[in-house]
Structure 1
Amino acid sequence: MLNKAKESVEEMIMIDEIQRLGLAYHFEKEITDALEHIYDANVDYGDLKTVTLRFRLLREEGYNVSSGELSPLNVLNKFKDKEGNFKNGLRSDVEGLLSLYEAAFYGTHGEDILDEAISFTKAHLSSLITHLDGPLGAQVGHALELPMRKRIPRLDARFYISLLQQHKQLNDVLLELAKWWKDIGLTAKYPYARDRLVEVYLWMLTIYVEPQYARARNMAVKIFKLLSIIDDTFDVDGKFEDLKLFTDAFQRWDLSAMEQLPEYMRPIYHAVLNTVNEIENELLPGEKFFRTDLLKHEV
């Protein structure tokens, strides 16, 4: 039971991050399945952050959380004292207050407890913000300026990406990937291609979450970053005959095939083959054949 509850919490955090990053359209079925499981499980969580995150995610997706065990009145009453006020102990729970604050703006007419929650959380977050710094402080300030419910999701994703970039571990990885990208030297050759290195990394971060998958995550970022240039080439700059030659070259998967390509397509073709070869060299002997063969097929 405890393991299932922990898994559900991790799922909710992951869904929230994917949505905030503007990547939910990549995982629509997975998100729907996970929320269905979370709704049906109806776990009695004890912390404010998890309870209010669940409420917000479910209400956003149209689940019935207006009455019954998952209603705001029912789930928030446990955080009140005998006088009917929110407990004093919540005042130091910054993440819990922030989660309640954001969730409360999803209230509907007649849910007075959520109106009360907005007043309570806004007052205490405003008094705490001068003592907060780093990503959490930035997130609280951003929410107090305008809650998530009132923001444009796609524009808000830019803020959330910048927030994640403040994490040192993330910065170190992105710097390493940025150096790799600079060394490849494709930016000047393909000015029409979108700069999606951070977006691709964060997307991979939602797939390869655990620290032990860091190597796989970085490999995937390199491949998908290169594929994004190919995608933009097909959409924006490629001529039909050139694209046909490009496709044939990838089916051959041989450097000699580069000779048949127009000049502007050669750098990206060369970069993809080289990157896959580098990945192959990084893999253990038992991993090489199956994984790189599958990768070449998918490309």
Structure 2
Amino acid sequence: MDMLMASAADPIENVKLVDTVLRLGVSYHFENDIENQLDSIFSSHQNDLFSGNDLDLSSTSVVFRVFRQHGFKMSCDVFNKYTDTDGKFKEALMDDVKGMLNLYEAAFLRIHGENVLEEALAFTTANLKSLPNKSSPYLAKQIENALDRPLNKCPPRLAARTYVSFYEEEESRNETLLKFEKLDFNRVQILHKQEISQLARFWEENMFSSKLPYARERYVEGYTWINSLFYEPRYTQWRIVLSKLLVVISILDDTFDAYGTPQELQRFIDALTRWEIAALDELQDYTQLICKAVVAVFDEIDEEARKDGRSDCV
């Protein structure tokens, strides 16, 4: 955080550094510091942050996006100076590839009724599609990636892994920050692999493959889904528990879609509704196994929730 504090004299550069930390996927180390920095900048400079006419489109777009991402009420009027009297973005902006890229990403944080951002998305999308063949290989890759996976629609870990390959080619890159990102990414990746190993053990110990041969083995897919929602190390137990829940849901889906008879499934539904272990004796072997897995997963959720003082959420 010393780097963030050191650049505090220039609020625009400070916010751009925050954006870099966010996009590299290491912001979870500095959450309170980042929130305090942004709150301080927004409170002190809200009225004059964009007052200068010399602020370029790229910087304006980055600052707008970062504040919006963190819940600040940043007005989209900051982009009006880049439009003509008809509300269309000026054609001269097409020469500013970096500005177009950042405006494109910022436009995904629009809300209903923000016509300038609707126009920004249409304008940048149409023009960026024609730019890869006219740009340097470095920018062409960024354009193709942004069009395929906009930042606001990309899982954070995938976005970080992609962005670091671009960041290490930037002349203005911070070598310390870059090294920290790579070390942290590898450290967290090891943790994620260990979590997947636990899910594999959960699958094998319950003998789903042998006892439920019709069920698809989807624990890696389910884990990837959960990991895209929250990848930070502190959520390790919740990632495991919720991934197990997705495994059970997938098995239930396959059972109801492709295996169980209506009579067997109705008894299964009745047993789950009663939520009583004694009801398992009324079930077929395969539905007993599933029912036990469902109960076990919810017991585990209950245990984790109680640790967090949130048993009511179960």
Please tell me the TM-score bracket, short chain as reference.
0.5 to 0.7
The CA distance in 1 between the partners of 2:97 and 2:130, in whole Å, is: 11
Match of 1:86 among 84, 89, 95: 89
User: Any conservation in 2 of the 1:135–1:164 contact (CA below 8 Å)?
Assistant: no
In structure 1, what is the equivalent of residue 35 of structure 2? 32
Judging changes above 3 Å, is the alpha-carbon distance between structure 1 residues 31 and 157 closer, same or farther for their aligned structure 2 residues? same
The CA distance in 2 between the partners of 1:5 and 1:120, in whole Å, is: 33
The CA distance in 1 between the partners of 2:162 and 2:149, in whole Å, is: 12
User: Any conservation in 1 of the 2:94–2:100 contact (CA below 8 Å)?
Assistant: yes
Match of 1:55 among 46, 64, 69: 64
Moved more, 45-54 or 12-21: 45-54
Q: Residue by residue, what CA displacement relative to the aligned partner does 1:244-294 show, whole Å, maximum 9, x if unpaired?
A: xxxxxxxxxxxxxxxxxxxxxxxxxxxxxxxxxxxxxxxxxxxxxxxxxxx
2:128 paired with 1:119: no
Judging changes above 3 Å, is the alpha-carbon distance between structure 1 residues 199 and 98 closer, same or farther for their aligned structure 2 residues? same
User: Any conservation in 1 of the 2:65–2:106 contact (CA below 8 Å)?
Assistant: yes
Secondary structure of 1:78's aligned partner: helix
Q: Residue by residue, what CA displacement relative to the aligned partner does 1:69-89 show, whole Å, maximum 9, x if unpaired?
A: xx11x2111111123221121
User: Any conservation in 1 of the 2:131–2:140 contact (CA below 8 Å)?
Assistant: no
Secondary structure of 2:88's aligned partner: coil
Match of 1:98 among 94, 98, 101: 101
Structure 1 residue 128: deviation in Å? 1.5
In structure 1, what is the equivalent of residue 132 of structure 2? 129
For residue 90 of structure 2, what is the amino acid of its counterpart? Answer: K
For residue 112 of structure 1, what is the amino acid of its counterpart? Answer: N
The CA distance in 1 between the partners of 2:20 and 2:172, in whole Å, is: 17
In structure 2, what is the equivalent of residue 8 of structure 1? 11
Q: Residue by residue, what CA displacement relative to the aligned partner does 1:208-239 show, whole Å, maximum 9, x if unpaired?
A: xxxxxxxxxxxxx8xx99xx7xx99xx99xxx
For residue 18 of structure 2, what is the amino acid of its counterpart? Answer: I
Judging changes above 3 Å, is the alpha-carbon distance between structure 1 residues 14 and 168 closer, same or farther for their aligned structure 2 residues? closer
For residue 126 of structure 1, what is the amino acid of its counterpart? Answer: K
Q: Residue by residue, what CA displacement relative to the aligned partner does 1:4-37 show, whole Å, maximum 9, x if unpaired?
A: 9971122122111111111001111221122112
Match of 1:142 among 145, 149, 168: 145
Secondary structure of 1:109's aligned partner: coil
For residue 125 of structure 1, what is the amino acid of its counterpart? Answer: L
How is 1:269-284 mapped onto 2 (pairs within 5 angstroms)?
none
How is 1:65-84 mapped onto 2 (pairs within 5 angstroms)?
65=74, 71-72=75-76, 74-84=77-87
For residue 56 of structure 2, what is the amino acid of its counterpart? Answer: D
TM-score (norm 2): 0.50
2:20 paired with 1:17: yes
Match of 1:159 among 142, 159, 162: 162
Q: Could you say what the CA RMSD is over the residues aligned between the two structures, in angstroms?
A: 3.4
The CA distance in 1 between the partners of 2:16 and 2:177, in whole Å, is: 18
Task: List 4+ stretches of structure 1 deviating above 4 A.
Answer: 167-170
The CA distance in 1 between the partners of 2:159 and 2:111, in whole Å, is: 23
Judging changes above 3 Å, is the alpha-carbon distance between structure 1 residues 199 and 16 closer, same or farther for their aligned structure 2 residues? closer
Q: Sequence identity, in percent? A: 36
Q: Unpaired segments of 5 or more residues in structure 1? A: 66-70, 174-197, 205-220, 237-299
The CA distance in 2 between the partners of 1:120 and 1:97, in whole Å, is: 9
In structure 1, what is the equivalent of residue 198 of structure 2? none
* Higher radius of gyration, 1 or 2: 2
User: Any conservation in 1 of the 2:8–2:14 contact (CA below 8 Å)?
Assistant: no
